[in-house]
A and B are shown apart, each in its own frame.
Chain A
Amino acid sequence: MKLALSSSSEFFSLAVYNSQDLMLTNCGFFTKKLQKWSISSVENLLKTVEMSLKDLTIIAVDTGPGKFTGLRVGVAMAKTMAFALGIDMVEACSLDIIRSDVPALMPVIVAMDGKQNRVFTKVYNANGTTGEVLDIEPGKLKYMIEAEGLHHYTMVGDGFKNYSELQGYPINEIDYFFYPKAWHMHKVWSEPKNKLEVDARYYRKTQAEERRK
C-alpha cells in the first residue's frame, strides 16, 4: 500500500493506493495550520480504509517547487514516516503532477504561484518534450508565451489565476485544475529512492542569497 502526500500549494492532499489503484483521498485548503491538519488526516485516512501503518510499503511525496513552508512540512512528514517505518520513498515534481491532470497529447504550460511576484513554470510540448522548471516573473512568462507563439497551449496552475499579467488566457476556471493533487502522483512519480536522498526542491535561492548575487 502506498501513501501519497502533496503540500506544495495551498491545497493539501493525501491519497492511499493499493498497488496502482487509488483507494481513498483526503484534501483541503490550508494556510497556517497545515501542520496540525496533516498528521490527523493521515490517521483518519488509514482508519477509513481499515489499514494500519504497517501496511504501508511506499511513501510518495510532492517535492516541489511551491510554497516553501508547506513543502517543508510535507516533505519532513513524508521522510520521517518512511524513516520510522523503514520503507522507501518516491517523489514527484509539483508541476508534473498538475500537468498529469490534462490529457497526455495536449501541449500544456503549468504556472504555479511562487509568491514574491514570481511563478514556477514548465512547458510541456505535444511531442512529449518538456522545458526546464523556471522561476520567473509573470510578465516574463507572458512575454515568452507571446514570443514563442504558445497561446494555443493549455494553461494550468494557480499562477494563471493569481497574476493579472497572465489573466486573459483561456484557462479552466475550476479550481480543480490549479493545484497538484496526491491522487495524480502515481502517473509521474520517480523510481523508489532511499528516504535520506529525498529533499524539497525549491528552484529558488533565498532572498539573502539573491541580494548577495
Chain B
Amino acid sequence: MKILGIETSCDETSVAVVEDGKKILSNIIYSQVPLHKEFSGVVPELASRKHLEIILPLIKDALMEANLTLNDVDAISVTQEPGLMGSLLVGLTVAKTLAYITKKPLIPVNHINAHLYAANLEYDIPFPFIGLIVSGGHTLLTVWKNWLDYKILGTTIDDAVGEAFDKVAKLMNLGYPGGPIIDKLFKKGDANSINFPLVMLNKNNDRYNFSYSGLKTAVVYYMQRNENYVVEDVAASFQKKAIDVLFKKTKLLSEDLNINNIVIAGGVAANSYLREVFHHSKMSVFIPSIKLCTDNAAMVGGLAYHLYQNQEIDYTSLDAVDKIITPQIKRNLRKEN
C-alpha cells in the first residue's frame, strides 16, 4: 500500500510516499529555517504563506521521485495536529482536496506520534516501548502498547526542551535555531565548568514531568554576574543539564514500568550529547537518523499505514487542531501523576 504523506505543521514543508509503512519511496523536505532566521523564531503567518507557495511543486516532485502518479497512491495522509493552525490548514486543505478529487481515503495523523514512528522506518521497534518526544514544541514521556494505543505520562510544565535551547541561544545572540548551534559549542566548551541546576521536580505528581524555565533563568543570572563569560562553557554546561534531565526521567520511567525499549524522536533527538548518553546506557534505545529527526512527511505516511483500517474517513468533517497538550490537560496530567 503506497501512501502519500503531507507535513506542514510548523516551518518545514514536506511530502513523501511510503510503501507499507516501511519503504520510503520519496521524502522531500523544504526547510523554511532561512526564512525565519532573522526573526529568531518561526513567524506563523510567514510559514503559512510559504507552505501554500511550495506545497504543490513538492507533491509533484515527491511523486516523480517515487516514479508514481497521483492515481498510483492508495491513500492520502496528513498531519492534522498539533502545530501552527495556519500551517496545518494549508496541508489539511490540500490533502482533503486531493482525497476528494482522487476518491482515495484520507488518513489524519498526529504529528507527535508520527515523530516516534520515524524510528520504525529504520528499525523494527518492539512493543511495549517508552517514547520520549523532544522538540521545540514538546517534551513528552509516553508509553506505547502498539501504534494505536499509547498514554502520555509526562510533559513539560513550562518551556519545551527545544524552546529552551532556542531561548538560551537567543540570550547569547548565537542565532536560530539554537539547538544545532549550542550542540556545536558543546564540543568546544567544558560541560562541567558551570554548575547549572538539574531540575528534577521531585514531587510525586511531577515524577515524569519536566521544567526548563529554571535552567534558563540560571543561565540568565550567570550571564548577568559574569560579563566575560565563555560562550562555549555556558552552552556546554546548559546542554549537559538540559539533556541529563531527559535521560534521568526516561530511566526512572523505564525502571518504574520495567520497560527497556526506548524510542526517542523530535528535533532535539538530533543532539549529539543526547544520542551519546542514551546509546551508552543499558536501555535498548532507538533514535532515527538525523534526517528523520526533523519534521518530515515520511513519518506521516508511515504511521498512516497502521492507522488505516479499511474504513473510509469522512474527509469533509476533518479540521486542524493546533494543540494537543492544553493547559487543562497539563493540569490533569499533574493530578493523575
Q: Tell me the A residues contacting B by CB distance below 8 Å.
A: 33, 35-36, 39-40, 42-43, 53, 68-69, 72-73, 75-77, 79-81, 83-85, 195-196, 199-200, 202, 206-209, 212
Q: Which residues of B contact A36 (CB under 8 A)?
A: 316-319
**Dominant SS among interface residues on chain B:** helix
B45 near A75: Cβ-Cβ < 8 Å: no
B89 near A69: Cβ-Cβ < 8 Å: yes
Within 8 A of A (CB), among B291-309: none
Known: A81-B97, A81-B101, A84-B97. A212 touches B92 (CB 8 A): no
CB distance from B45 to the nearest CB of A (A): 4
B52 adjacent to chain A (CB < 8 Å): yes
Q: Which residues of B contact A53 (CB under 8 A)?
A: 101
Q: Which residues of A contact B146 (CB under 8 A)?
A: none
B46 near A77: Cβ-Cβ < 8 Å: no
Q: Which residue of chain A is the closest to B53 with respect to CB atoms?
A: A199
Q: Which residues of B contact A42 (CB under 8 A)?
A: 100
**Dominant SS among interface residues on chain A:** helix
Q: Which residues of B contact A72 (CB under 8 A)?
A: 48-49, 52, 86, 89-90, 93
Interface size on B, residues (CB 8 A): 33
Interface digits, B178-200 against A, CB 8 Å rule (1 contact, 0 not)? 00000000000000000000000
CB distance from A201 to the nearest CB of B (A): 11
Choose among B46, B60, B86, B96 the residue that contacts A39 (Cβ–Cβ < 8 A): B96
Q: 7 other contacts beyond A77-B93, A207-B45, A208-B39, with CB at 8 A cut-off?
A: A36-B316, A39-B100, A39-B316, A68-B48, A69-B86, A79-B56, A212-B39
Inter-chain CA distance A72–B92, complex, in Å, is 11
A84 near B316: Cβ-Cβ < 8 Å: no
B319 near A84: Cβ-Cβ < 8 Å: no
Interface digits, B34-49 against A, CB 8 Å rule (1 contact, 0 not)? 0000110001011011
B98 adjacent to chain A (CB < 8 Å): yes
A80 near B315: Cβ-Cβ < 8 Å: no
Within 8 A of A (CB), among B239-255: none
Interface digits, B78-102 against A, CB 8 Å rule (1 contact, 0 not)? 0000000010011011101110111
CB distance from B251 to the nearest CB of A (A): 40
Interface digits, B58-79 against A, CB 8 Å rule (1 contact, 0 not)? 0110000000001000000000
A84 near B70: Cβ-Cβ < 8 Å: yes
Known: A84-B70, A206-B46. A35 touches B97 (CB 8 A): no
Q: Which residue of chain B is the closest to A76 with respect to CB atoms?
A: B93
Most-contacted residue by chain A among B39, B56, B92, B97 (CB, 10 A):
B97
Inter-chain CA distance A36–B98, complex, in Å, is 15
Within 8 A of A (CB), among B196-232: none
Inter-chain CA distance A170–B154, complex, in Å, is 61
Q: Which residues of A contact B70 (CB under 8 A)?
A: 84
Inter-chain CA distance A79–B86, complex, in Å, is 17
